[in-house]
A and B are shown apart, each in its own frame.
Chain A
Amino acid sequence: MTQYLVSVLTEGAIFGIMALGLNVIWGWSGDFDLAYYGYVALGAYMTLVLTIGRQPPPTKYILGLTLPYPLAVGLAVASAMALALVIGLIALRHLRGIYFSIVTLGAVYVLYTMAGQFVPLFNGYQGLSGLVNPMADVLGIDFNSYQYFLLGLAIAVFLLVYLFLSRVSSSRFGLALRSLREDERAAAAFGRDIYRLKLKAYVLGAAIGGLGGALFATYVTAFNTSAWAPLETIVLYAAVLVGGRGNIRGVVLGVFIVIVLIEESTRFLPEIPGHPNIVLALRPIVIGLALILFLRFRPQGLLPERRYMDPAQSKAKQEVVT
């Protein structure tokens, strides 16, 4: 039982990190980015190729180093940021709305195709594996206790990201970013460099996604193309939307509902003989329906975005203009 709980919480924390990153791009900057899971995947892949060393052929992949784990994760995040910079430089310059989404969808599919087809990159469809208990020897953790270490690590990173984003949200940078989402023209009329701001948000979101991916690879010890379909981004979007777009508390709630609750509830459904796929397919169906229903009936999500409530009282008589 504890093992199950540990794994659920670990997964929840990792997806929470991913969803928080997505919230920066979509919730705050307002860009419906479909390339997001590509940054998660790159974070995962890079963490692996930087730690598993050289494995014998026929596995083929780039790098194959055995760097210390924290360094590998740092570099993985940096590579996700670099990729986001490239895609963002192109896509954010002139495109908005569905054209932006379509181009990012295209970009992530190019990545997905390359990862699967171009074997020398990340070993093609077979993918990479072998990241077993990083830092266990350094910290003296035995095999059985490692899961607790990983849980602690995931939660610690999640809290760090959460606090950091909380800071960003209440900063003037965060406020300026949200004004872009609300009305770009007005933001430009008041001196905001839209391109630059959005690019910064995009790279920041991708960095957090890459971090989530790195942790995910650590948790699963492996990663290949079947672990990520670009369409998986929908699950993260559903989490952000259901919880409350633009609102980091909401994101946490959304991850809990969409990923933890739905995933776990479908796990306990009985197998129906003759239709082995029902349980597996039910999860995305529920998530997709939740997405549509929330867009229709509660697009702001369950927890609406917080606003700054000014406490000071005015001394003059307050007249209301209508």
Chain B
Amino acid sequence: MTTQAPVALEVRGLSKHFGGVRAVENCSFTAPEGKVTGLIGPNGAGKSTAIDLISGFKLPDAGTVVFGGEAIEGLPPHRISRLGLIRTFQTPREWPLLTVLENVVLARWDQARETFWRGVLGLQQAQHEATTGELAEGREILEEFGLMALRNERAGNLSGGQKRLVEFARIRMAKPQLVILDEPMGGVNPVLGERMALAIEGFIATGTSVIVVEHNLPFIERVTDHVVVMSQGSVIASGPFASLRSNRAVIDAYLGEMPTYEQPSA
């Protein structure tokens, strides 16, 4: 018997119905710790709903989600986030009127400095140091992502690809145990794909496990160690990407051949 690899997230029997539509039906999978897990499937497979359920933005009808040893299903999103699970959204959700640096610095929830009186009066030296340290950290991260020149720009003025990078920078700042990326390549110039892949590797290196939902299968092949395939609300297969290409059920779900990875033209 092999020892179980540590698990970042475990989903068991998750279900969600909307009226007569079974968006997610008895969905179960695990995401190993310290790895990148892909979540793929044809349109309407229920991937986004599953993410919403896991991260607390929708309430499940049934099932359980285990994260960090706790059952988190049904908790509100901010609680789940504070436990160390952060997600992104299909469209970049920056805070448009705040600057890029402000966006990044705000990624970390700090109870001590965000309560009303302590936050407002802010008299403690520790708080002041925390703020300065935070700003320095924020700048470092922005530099790593090549966004340092834009740090005082209002985030709403950035291009789509830049906004995505700001989102990644925020994740790096927050350093969660697990990040779920919801279609990060959506609407982004494919040239940025490699940069994003590197950012994801950066997450793993700093201790954040990753789940990435994507339609861009070449990208999935590039970044993931383990892939879960959903169709019609449930998981139909899982394993390394290469093994899925010949998986009968997966091919059926995609109605034909799975698109193959192509070398980008030089």
Contacts and interface: CB of A to CB of B under 8 A. Distances in A.
Q: Classify A-B as touching or not with yes or no (CB < 8 A).
A: yes
Contact of A189 (B88, B154, B162, B195): B88
Given A168-B120, A178-B98, A190 B152 contact: no
Contacts of A186: 89, 93-95
B148 A318 contact: yes
Nearest to B109: A191
A66 interface: no
B97 interface: yes
Interface in B85-100: 86-89, 93-99
B76 interface: yes
Contacts of B113: 171-173
Given A188-B76, A307-B152, A183 B95 contact: yes
Interface string B168-189: 0010001000000000000000
A156 to B, nearest CB: 20
With a 10 A CB-CB cut-off, give which of B94, B95, B115, B131 has the most chain A CB atoms. B95
Interface string A177-188: 011001101111
Nearest to A305: B97
A275 B127 CA distance: 62
Interface in B145-200: 145-152, 154, 159, 161-162, 165, 170, 174, 192, 195
A316 B143 contact: yes
B170 A190 contact: yes
A200 interface: yes
A185 B146 contact: no
Contacts of B88: 189
B217 to A, nearest CB: 25
B89 A307 contact: no
B163 to A, nearest CB: 11
A312 B96 CA distance: 22
A71 B20 CA distance: 60
B114 A310 contact: no
A314 B144 CA distance: 11
A213 B122 CA distance: 29
B185 to A, nearest CB: 15
B78 interface: yes
A87 B114 CA distance: 24
A171 B122 contact: yes
A316 B146 CA distance: 10
Interface string A220-255: 000000000000000000000000001000000000
Interface size class of A (residues with CB under 8 A): 35 or more
Contacts of A305: 97
Interface size class of B (residues with CB under 8 A): 35 or more
A268 interface: no
Given A168-B120, A188-B81, A173 B102 contact: no
B55 interface: yes
Contacts of A246: 97
A182 B96 contact: yes
B77 interface: yes
Contact of A200 (B94, B107, B116, B152): B116
Contacts of A174: 119-120
Given A179-B106, A310-B139, A189 B87 contact: yes
Interface string A258-301: 00000000000000000000000000000000000000000000
Interface in A154-176: 164, 167-168, 171-176
Contact of A188 (B78, B94, B154): B78
Contacts of A307: 97-99, 102, 152, 154
Contacts of B146: 319-321
Contacts of B98: 175, 178-179, 182, 307
Nearest to B82: A191
B81 A190 contact: yes
B228 interface: no
A245 to B, nearest CB: 10
Contact of B77 (A167, A183, A188, A309): A188
B139 A314 contact: yes
A318 B102 contact: no
Contacts of B97: 178, 182, 246, 305, 307
Contacts of B107: 190
B10 to A, nearest CB: 21
A54 interface: no
B219 interface: no
A142 interface: no
Contacts of A168: 120
Contacts of A178: 95, 97-98
Given A175-B106, A189-B55, A319-B146, 16 more contacts: A172-B114, A179-B98, A182-B96, A182-B98, A188-B77, A189-B89, A189-B93, A191-B78, A193-B78, A194-B78, A200-B116, A308-B152, A309-B99, A316-B143, A320-B146, A320-B150
7 contacts: A171-B113, A178-B95, A182-B95, A186-B94, A189-B93, A310-B139, A321-B145
Closest CB pairs A-B (n = 3): A191-B109, A173-B119, A182-B95
